[in-house]
Amino acid sequence: MFTDFITILDLVGVAVFAATGGLVASRKEMDLIGFGMMATFTGVGGGTVRDVILDRPVFWVEDHRYLLVCLGIALLLYFFASHVQRRYVVLLWSDAIGLAAFAVLGAQLAREADAGPLIAIVLGMITATFGGLARDLVAGETPLLLKQEIYATAALVSAAVYVVFVDSIGVAPLIAAIGAILTGFAVRAGAILFGWSLPRYKQRAGRIYK
Amino acid sequence: MFTDFITILDLVGVAVFAATGGLVASRKEMDLIGFGMMATFTGVGGGTVRDVILDRPVFWVEDHRYLLVCLGIALLLYFFASHVQRRYVVLLWSDAIGLAAFAVLGAQLAREADAGPLIAIVLGMITATFGGLARDLVAGETPLLLKQEIYATAALVSAAVYVVFVDSIGVAPLIAAIGAILTGFAVRAGAILFGWSLPRYKQRAGRIYK
Amino acid sequence: MFTDFITILDLVGVAVFAATGGLVASRKEMDLIGFGMMATFTGVGGGTVRDVILDRPVFWVEDHRYLLVCLGIALLLYFFASHVQRRYVVLLWSDAIGLAAFAVLGAQLAREADAGPLIAIVLGMITATFGGLARDLVAGETPLLLKQEIYATAALVSAAVYVVFVDSIGVAPLIAAIGAILTGFAVRAGAILFGWSLPRYKQRAGRIYK
Spatial separation of the C-alpha atoms in residues B71 and B34, rounded to whole Å:
11
Averaged pLDDT for residues B143-167: 88
Q: Cβ–Cβ of C37/A152 closer than 8 Å?
A: yes
- Judge whether A143 lies within some domain: yes
pLDDT at residue A125 in the model: 95
Instruction: Give the number of beta-carbon pairs within 8 Å between A and B.
Output: 79
In Å, how far is A31's CA from the nearest CA of chain B?
4
pLDDT at residue A150 in the model: 83
Q: Cβ–Cβ of A26/B55 closer than 8 Å?
A: no
pLDDT at residue B148 in the model: 64
- Judge whether A209 lies within some domain: no
HSE-up of residue B50 (Cα within 13 Å, Cβ side): 33
pLDDT at residue C85 in the model: 67
**Per residue in C57-105, pLDDT tens?**
999 999 999 999 999 999 999 998 887 767 778 888 988 999 999 999 9
| ipTM confidence score | 0.90
Type of residue at A194: F
- Total domains present in chain C: 1
Indicate which of C31, C79, C133, C135 best probes the interface with A, i.e. most A CBs within 10 Å of its own CB.
C31
- Judge whether B209 lies within some domain: no
Q: Which residues of C26-52 are buried (b: 16+ CB within 10 A; e: fewer)?
A: bbbebbbbbbbbbbbbbbbbbbbbbbb
- Of the candidates B52, B55, B85, which has its C-beta nearest C208's C-beta? B85
User: Where residue C176 falls among pLDDT bands split at 50, 70, 90?
Assistant: very high
- Of the candidates B122, B123, B204, which has its C-beta nearest A82's C-beta? B204
C44 lies in which domain range? 2-194
- Judge whether A199 lies within some domain: no
- Judge whether B166 lies within some domain: yes
Spatial separation of the C-alpha atoms in residues C48 and A143, rounded to whole Å:
22
User: Where residue B210 falls among pLDDT bands split at 50, 70, 90?
Assistant: very low
- Judge whether B200 lies within some domain: no
In Å, how far is C139's CA from the nearest CA of chain A?
8
DSSP annotation string for A70-110: HHHHHHHHHHHGGGSSSHHHHHHHHHHHHHHHHHHHHHHHH
In Å, how far is C110's CA from the nearest CA of chain B?
9
User: B141 — contact with chain C (CB < 8 Å)?
Assistant: no
Give the H/E segment covering residue C210. Answer: none
Three-class SS of residue C116? Answer: coil
Closest CA to B99 of B168, B150, B37: B150
- Judge whether B199 lies within some domain: no
Whether the pLDDT of residue A11 is over 60: the answer is: yes
- Judge whether C80 lies within some domain: yes
How far, rounded to the nearest angstrom, does the alpha carbon of residue A81 sit from its chain's CA centroid?
21
Closest CA to C187 of C133, C135, C144, C149: C149
User: B8 — contact with chain A (CB < 8 Å)?
Assistant: no
On whether the CB atoms of residues A188 and A97 are closer than 8 A, the answer is no
**Per residue in B49-108, pLDDT tens?**
999 999 999 999 999 999 999 999 999 999 988 877 677 788 889 889 999 999 999 999
* Exposed/middle/buried for residue C84 (C-beta within 10 Å: 0-12, 13-18, 19+): middle
* Exposed/middle/buried for residue B204 (C-beta within 10 Å: 0-12, 13-18, 19+): exposed
Closest CA to A51 of A100, A104, A123: A123
